[in-house]
Amino acid sequence: MGMKDEVHGRSQPGQAEPKVKNKEVVALEDAEAQEEMEANKKRHLNVVFIGHVDAGKSTTGGQILFLSGQVDDRTIHKYEKEAKDKSRESWYMAYIMDTNEEERVKGKTVEVGRAHFETETTRFTILDAPGHKSYVPNMISGASQADIGVLVISARKGEFETGYERGGQTREHVQLAKTLGVAKLLVVVNKMDDPTVNWSKERYDEIESKMTPFLKSSGYNVKKDVQFLPISGLLGSNMKTRVDKSICSWWNGPCLFEALDCIEVPLRDPKGPFRMPIIDKFKDMGTVVMGKVESGSVCEGDSLLVMPNKAQVKVVAVYCDESKVRCAGPGENLRVRLSGIEEEDILSGFVLSSVVKPIPAVTEFTAQLQILELLENAIFTAGYKAVLHVHSVVEECEIVELLQQIDPKTRKPMKKKVLFVKNGAVVVCRVQVNNSICVEKFSDFPQLGRFTLRTEGKTIAVGKVTDLPVA
């Protein structure tokens, strides 16, 4: 759902032959295994690119792949020509990430693009989310797999303003990212080369000073978890190397690659009970499921459960990025080949889970919700229906009872009985779904216990699971 095939620099059509693979496979096998081990020693981070439509997410993502040597000049020239033929000259860098015809014609990402690159210290998986408001569910699926976010903001005259307005996706994406567990943000102020900006310090400062209070109010600790920097995704300035003083005299901070290199990874427990929400599945010599490991580790040969239907499965093979691995730990985006289950019996939102400590499957839970912005004239009360997004689950839900309202200032429950609430309220309520879903208490597994509620294509609330029925 909302995911297209991965972008592999080396398998792009029209590209020069891959560096090593295929040749002398036998002799290389050992070396390859070695290489794989080495690669796995580097830490791994999932980065989601978020921000308002046309901010330059795909362009910046494409430029990263180009600068890290994964896309050659010939391919770039081909994209330049293709973009020109579609009267979208400036979109050629975005074509590296936007691989669907529809995306290229319209110049808009629809499905989350996925690609890999490495710096000195880190292997990165890039998730390029769509900015258009119609595709927020796909953005949610991308952000739910990420550890950190690159929030792309256009500095071009008028563009920062539209993205930042109420109803703009700069706001919505930040709020969603925070709820979905994106712990840190790099805010890249993009299009600094644009003639309306021309690397102006005033414009950069204006954007930083307007974004800062908003990021704070969305729950980010700006000093610790947020870093701003100026770039030009289209020209590749201040990305792999620091921007030249002749272009931007006032910037003394890092470039994007340096900032990504130093960003600290959240601690993860490789020994926790195994949990991997399934994002997608397909048939390929058995059943293959895709997802990000949220807790624990998985090895070839392991016995696991597919929840909520308690199907017993065996792990036949584990793939991390493009390579087969014996074991993989938390934070990794994997493809896992299973035996003991048919592809038809798996839905996205199911969770590959440890047998000893399976993930709870419920049709009801208690949650603390923060109401963001209800539809006009709507009131939030028992009987309210919305679409629940929690890790890779998308499910219709109903609020069956409001339990208590929380005073946002003191964070304590208010005494008076609550029948309905308005925008901005924090409320504890009971939520029901028709089909069994897998969730955890937020306090146990934040990633599996935080969710969003949407109605008619708008995010109306974010929340966390506070209690589950006793099994």
Number of residues located near ligand GTP, criterion CB under 6 A: 24
Which residue lies nearer to ligand GTP by CB, 130 or 449? 130
Which lies closer to ligand GTP via its Cβ, residue 100 or residue 432?
100
Helices in 144-190 by DSSP H: which ranges?
A: 159-164, 169-179
Asked if 48 and 177 touch (Cβ cutoff 8 Å), the reply is yes
Q: How far is the CB of 347 from Mg ion (least distance, A)?
A: 27
CB of 332 to ligand GTP, least distance (A): 25
Give dist(CA 17, CA 7) in Å, integer: 16
Among 12, 58, 68, 459, binds Mg ion (CB under 5 A): 58
Close Cβ partners of 274 (under 8 Å, ≥ 6 residues apart): 293, 295, 296, 297, 298, 302, 304, 352, 353, 354
Please count the residues of this chain forming the interface with Mg ion, following the rule CB under 5 A.
Answer: 3
Token output for 420: 């309905």
Residue whose beta carbon is closest to ligand GTP: 131
Candidates 114, 123, 191, 389; binder of ligand GTP (CB under 6 A) is 191
Give the three-state DSSP class for 213. helix
* Amino acid of residue 342: E
* Contact pattern from residue 84 through residue 123 relative to Mg ion, giving x for each residue in contact according to CB under 5 A and a dash for the rest: -------------------------x--------------
Residue 369's SS3 state is strand
Q: Mark the segment that binds ligand GTP (CB under 6 A) among 50-58, 178-186, 200-208, 418-426.
A: 50-58
Radius of gyration of the chain (CA): 23
Q: Are 55 and 150 in contact (CB under 8 A)?
A: no
C-beta of 52: minimal distance to Mg ion in Å?
11
2-21 residues near ligand GTP, rule: CB under 6 A = none
Min dist CB 228 to ligand GTP, Å, is: 16
Residue of 44, 57, 123, 281 that binds Mg ion (CB under 5 A): 57
Return the ∠ at Cα 427 (arms to 424 and 428), rounded to 5°: 160
Cis peptide before 413 (omega within 30 of 0): no
Cβ atoms within 10 A of the Cβ of 254, count? 16
> Residue 216 forms beta bridges with which residues?
none
Measure CA 334 to chain center. 15
Interaction between residue 170 and ligand GTP (CB under 6 A): no
Map the footprint of ligand GTP across residues 243-282, applying CB under 6 A. none
Separation of alpha carbons 39 and 116, rounded Å: 12
136 to 155, contacts with ligand GTP by CB under 6 A? Answer: 152
Pairing status of strand 450-455 against strand 458-467: antiparallel
Residues 451 and 442: their CA atoms lie apart, in Å, by 10
Identify which of residues 12 and 58 has a Cβ nearer to Mg ion in the complex: 58
Q: Which residues in 418-447 contact ligand GTP (CB under 6 A)?
A: none
Please tell me whether residue 346 binds ligand GTP under the rule CB under 6 A. no
194 binds ligand GTP (CB under 6 A): yes
Within 56-115, the residues that bind ligand GTP by CB under 6 A are 56-59, 90-91, 94, 107-109
- Minimal distance in Å, beta carbon 75 to Mg ion? 18
168 or 446: CB nearest ligand GTP: 168
Q: Tell me, residue by residue from 227 to 246, as one string, x for binding to ligand GTP by CB under 6 A and - for no binding.
A: -----xxx------------
Burial (Cβ within 10 Å: 0-12, 13-18, ≥19) of residue 275: buried
Site residues for ligand GTP per CB under 6 A: 53-59, 90-91, 94, 107-109, 130-132, 152, 190-191, 193-194, 232-234
